[in-house]
Chain A
C-alpha cells in the first residue's frame, strides 16, 4: 500500500500519542480536519493502524503479581508453510502478547503474560513445548520494565529551563 507524505505524518504523530485529535493533527500538518479524519479512517480500514492501546505501568499497583516472560523458541519449519503455521498456533493463545520471527540462534521470540510464574511455567510445559514443531524453549522472566515502546517508565521528566529567556 502506497502512503503519501501526509499519511506518514499522521502515523508518526499517532504512534507517539494516539490521543491527538484530528483537528489538532490537521493544524500540525496543514490539512483540513475532514481530510485527516478520512485518512485515519482509511489507515484503520487497511489495518495500517492496527489498534489503539494504553501503556500501563502495572508495577505501580500495590500487590500486583503479574509476570511477563520472553521465550526463545526453536522450531522446525514445515514444508510449504514455513514458520507461519507454527507461529499461528502459538499466537492464538490469549496469554501470548507478541510473536516475532527472528534471525539468529532461535526462530521465534514469544512474549507471554501471566498472573504468576506458575501460570507461565504451565503454559510453556503444557502448551508451548508440546507443539509438534517446537524443538526447544528458553524462558526469560522480566524483572523490571525500564523502557517500553519508547517510553521510560521511571522517568520524572522535568523542565529545567528558565521560564523566560532571550
Chain B
C-alpha cells in the first residue's frame, strides 16, 4: 500500500533548515577555500586529555555512568565553576553532564516550557535556540540587538516583549556570532527585569572561558539570580573538545531534577570516555586553555584592525572567537556578500542574517584559524572590497 500522507510531524516540517547549511554545501565542493566560517577551535584537544580517554578505555571503563554523569567529574566541575566564575553548585544534585552544550540547552528548554510558553531569544544568536524552543512546544519571541549598541541587549528592548506568557529569557555571552560580552552593570539591568517579572534565565556560557579583556561575569552571581538561572557550559570551546560532545548544566536542585528526568530517558548519560577525558581537562588542562586564549586574543586584535583597515567597520568584541564586521558599506546583503566572496575569492564567512534579527548587514568571521590563514583571508577580502570600490568609481564616471 502506498503512503498517502506525510508522516513527518508538523512542528518539524515547518522548521527551516539552518542557513549555514547552504554555505557549507557550497564551500565543501570548492578547493583552496580559506575558511573563517568555522565555529570550533583550530586546536586539537591537548594530548594529556586525549591520553586520559585512551587510558580509560584501556582500563575497561566502557559502561554507563550515573545519569547525571561521573560524580568525580561533577565534583571537578563544581570546583571549577566556583573558582573560575564564583558560582556554587552541588555536585550531587545541581550539575548534569550532557552530550554537548547543545543537549544541555535542549533539556533546559524542555524542562521549563509548557505549550504556549514564550521564551525570549536575543538575536543575533546561535542557530538552534528558536528551533529548540518551538520543538518544546513553546514560542520563541525574538529581540534583535544592533551594531549601534555593540549588540548588547538593551533593558527596554527586553521589557517591551515581556507578556504574561513569558517564561524565560535565553542569553548567550560572550556571544556567538558577535563576540559581545556583557559586564556586571549590563547584566544587573537585565537581572532586575527578570526578577521584576518573575522569569528564568537560561544562560549559555559556553564561551565564558574565552573572554580576553576582562573576566566573564555569570548572571547567576548577581543577587537573587542563582535560583532563576540555568547555566549552560561545556568543554567544546575552551578545551578544544568539540567532537567529544561534552557539556553540562548547573541549576538549582528542583530544575536540575526536572532536567535529569528528560536526560535519563532521552540520553541515559554522556559518553563515558569523554567524561574521563574531561576530568583530566579540569585537573590539568588549564595551562593549555590559557595558551590558546593568548593566541585567540592576538588573532582577534589582528583581525579587527585589519578588517577596519580594508574598509569593513568592525568593533572589538570581548570574547568567543568571532568578529562581526559590518558589510553595509558595500551595499550588499550579508548573504550576497558571503556568496560572492566565496565564489570570487574563496573565503568562507557566515552571513550575519542566518543568526536572526539584527544580523543582516554583518558577517561572522571566526578567528579559530591560524595567523597565516587569517593573513591570507584579509588579503583576499581586501581584494574583494577593492574591486567593488573600483566598480563604484567607474559607475560614478
Which residues of A does B touch, CB under 8 Å? 9, 12-13, 17, 20, 24, 27-30, 159, 161-166
CB distance from B16 to the nearest CB of A (A): 14
Q: Does B71 interact with chain A (Cβ within 8 Å)?
A: no
CB distance from B216 to the nearest CB of A (A): 21
Q: Of B42, B128, B301, B375, which one neighbours A166 at CB under 8 angstroms?
A: B128
B20 A163 Cβ-Cβ under 8 A? no
Which residues of B does A touch, CB under 8 Å? 18, 20, 23-24, 27-28, 33, 35, 37-40, 42, 126-128, 176, 294, 298-299, 301-302, 305-306, 348, 350, 371, 375
CB distance from A73 to the nearest CB of B (A): 33
- In the bound complex, residues from chain B placing their C-beta under 8 Å from that of A29 are 298, 301
A164 B348 Cβ-Cβ under 8 A? yes
Q: How far is the CA of A28 from the CA of B299 in the complex (A)?
A: 6
A13 B298 Cβ-Cβ under 8 A? yes
CB distance from A103 to the nearest CB of B (A): 24
Given contacts A17-B371, A165-B40, A166-B126, 10 further A-B contacts (CB under 8 A): A9-B298, A12-B294, A24-B371, A159-B42, A163-B24, A163-B38, A164-B24, A164-B38, A164-B348, A165-B37
B27 A164 Cβ-Cβ under 8 A? yes
Known A-B contacts A163-B24, A163-B28, A164-B348; A27 and B305 likewise in contact (beta carbons under 8 Å): yes
- In the bound complex, residues from chain A placing their C-beta under 8 Å from that of B27 are 163-164
A164 B301 Cβ-Cβ under 8 A? no
- In the bound complex, residues from chain A placing their C-beta under 8 Å from that of B375 are 24
Q: Of A12, A13, A24, A163, which one neighbours B348 at CB under 8 angstroms?
A: A163
Q: How far is the CA of A24 from the CA of B20 in the complex (A)?
A: 31
CB distance from A112 to the nearest CB of B (A): 31
A166 B348 Cβ-Cβ under 8 A? no
CB closest residue in chain B, given A26: B305
A28 B37 Cβ-Cβ under 8 A? no
B302 A27 Cβ-Cβ under 8 A? yes
Task: Jot down 30 A-B pairs with beta carbons below 8 A, ordered by A.
Answer: A12-B294, A17-B371, A24-B371, A24-B375, A27-B301, A27-B302, A27-B305, A27-B306, A28-B298, A28-B301, A29-B298, A29-B301, A161-B40, A162-B38, A163-B27, A163-B33, A163-B37, A163-B38, A164-B20, A164-B27, A164-B35, A164-B37, A164-B38, A165-B20, A165-B24, A165-B38, A165-B40, A166-B39, A166-B126, A166-B176
CB distance from A142 to the nearest CB of B (A): 23
